[in-house]
């Protein structure tokens, strides 16, 4: 135990002298990096606008309140579109994610050196790019609209669902699989009766969890033109109709809270 002599008394210390120097150096480097980053950010900031910010914020607030409640009659279709983007996107993603997950899991993949890296590549590349970027890309390819949003959400969700699912597959109880194999079952029968029942609760949980995230993401996809309530948001922003913007933000907040509540309830029922 590290200790220090103080007037003949041994006093307990958390770290040895070398350890504490090492820690101080680490902290110093960290602070230096942060200061550098902050300097760069502040260099490319117009500080006049920042000092002016409180006035602008109060100005925005007075413009945005009260929300234009009657505008809600025009929001029905966009909300329905948003729900469709999230739900259909999740369904498409799951259809593709299931085979990818089986190819990526160590214990079910047909080939560890050829197919598994390929499946992992699909997972990483779809996961690391945000759905808004996928939407941008798909709008350039297949044109603006709800369909582009559905596909963007689907692609983004493949990696997420497949990753969680293949981790669940790798954690299954092997003895059950062995028992099914011992009855003389074929490869497919082993999968259906040995593996699938074990991962079904995880699968349902992942699906609902991702659906909840997708509701959030699909509310803003419209900003780049991919349909849903974001489309109304961006057109209201463009014409500076702040009362409409505040109403749309309230609607989005309510949608997010409801979807989170639903997903928590369903996951609670499954697990």
H helix or E strand, kind and range, residue 9:
strand 9-12
Q: How far apart are the first and last CA of the chain?
A: 45
Give the shortest CB-87-to-another protein separation in angstroms. Answer: 7
Instruction: Please answer whether residues 133 and 220 qualify as being in contact, where contact means their C-beta atoms are separated by less than 8 angstroms.
Output: no
Judged by beta carbon, residue 36 or residue 110, the one nearer another protein is 36
Hunting for tokens 């689907």 — which residue is that? 154
Minimum CB separation from another protein for residue 243, in Å?
A: 15
Helices (H) and strands (E) in the chain, counts: 12, 2
Q: Which of 57/110 has CB closer to another protein?
A: 57
* 3 bridge partner residues: 12
Instruction: Measure the CA–CA gap between 162 and 96, rounded to whole angstroms.
Output: 8
Cis preceding-peptide flag for 66 (omega within 30 of 0): yes
For residue 220, the minimal CB distance to another protein (Å) is 5
In the complex with another protein, the residue whose CB is nearer, 110 or 143, is 143
Residue whose CB is less far from another protein, 37 or 110: 37
Kindly give the pairing relationship between strand 9-12 and strand 3-6. Answer: antiparallel
Compute the least distance from the CB of residue 206 to another protein, in Å: 15
Least distance from C-beta 88 to another protein, angstroms? 6
Handedness of CA 119, 125, 131, 136 (dihedral sign): negative
Residue with Cβ nearer another protein (2 or 110): 2
Find the shortest distance in angstroms from Cβ 261 to another protein. Answer: 12
Of the two residues 95 and 110, which places its CB atom closer to another protein in the complex?
A: 95
User: Under a CB-based contact definition with an 8 Å cutoff, are residues 148 and 218 in contact?
Assistant: no
> Which chain residues interact with another protein by CB under 8 A?
30, 33-34, 37-38, 40-42, 44-46, 49-50, 53, 56-57, 60, 77, 80-81, 84, 87-88, 124-125, 127-130, 132-133, 136-137, 140-143, 145-147, 150, 193, 200, 204, 216-217, 219-220, 223-224, 233, 237, 249, 252-253, 256-257
Cα–chain center distance at 181: 37
């Amino acid at each position: 135990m590290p200790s220090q002599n103080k007037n003949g008394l041994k006093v307990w210390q958390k770290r040895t002298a070398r350890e504490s120097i090492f820690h101080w150096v680490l902290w110093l480097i960290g602070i230096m990096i942060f200061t550098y980053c902050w300097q760069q950010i502040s260099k490319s900031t117009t500080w006049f606008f920042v000092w002016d910010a409180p006035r602008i914020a109060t100005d925005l607030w007075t413009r945005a309140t009260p929300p234009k409640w009657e505008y809600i009659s025009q929001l029905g279709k966009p909300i329905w579109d948003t729900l469709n983007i999230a739900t259909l996107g999740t369904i498409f993603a799951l259809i593709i994610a299931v085979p990818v997950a089986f190819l990526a899991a160590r214990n079910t993949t047909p080939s560890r050196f050829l197919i598994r890296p390929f499946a992992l590549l699909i997972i990483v590349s779809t996961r690391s790019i945000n759905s808004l970027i996928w939407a941008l890309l798909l709008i350039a390819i297949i044109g603006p609209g709800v369909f582009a949003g559905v596909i963007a959400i689907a692609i983004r969700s493949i990696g997420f669902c497949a990753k969680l699912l293949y981790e669940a597959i790798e954690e299954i109880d092997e003895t059950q699989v062995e028992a099914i194999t011992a009855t003389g079952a074929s490869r497919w029968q082993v999968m259906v009766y040995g593996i699938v029942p074990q991962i079904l609760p995880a699968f349902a949980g992942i699906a609902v969890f991702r659906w909840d995230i997708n509701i959030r993401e699909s509310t803003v996809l419209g900003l780049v033109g991919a349909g849903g309530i974001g489309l109304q948001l961006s057109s209201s922003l463009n014409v500076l109709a702040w009362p409409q913007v505040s109403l749309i933000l309230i609607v989005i907040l309510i949608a997010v809270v409801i979807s989170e509540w639903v997903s928590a309830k369903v996951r609670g029922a499954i697990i």
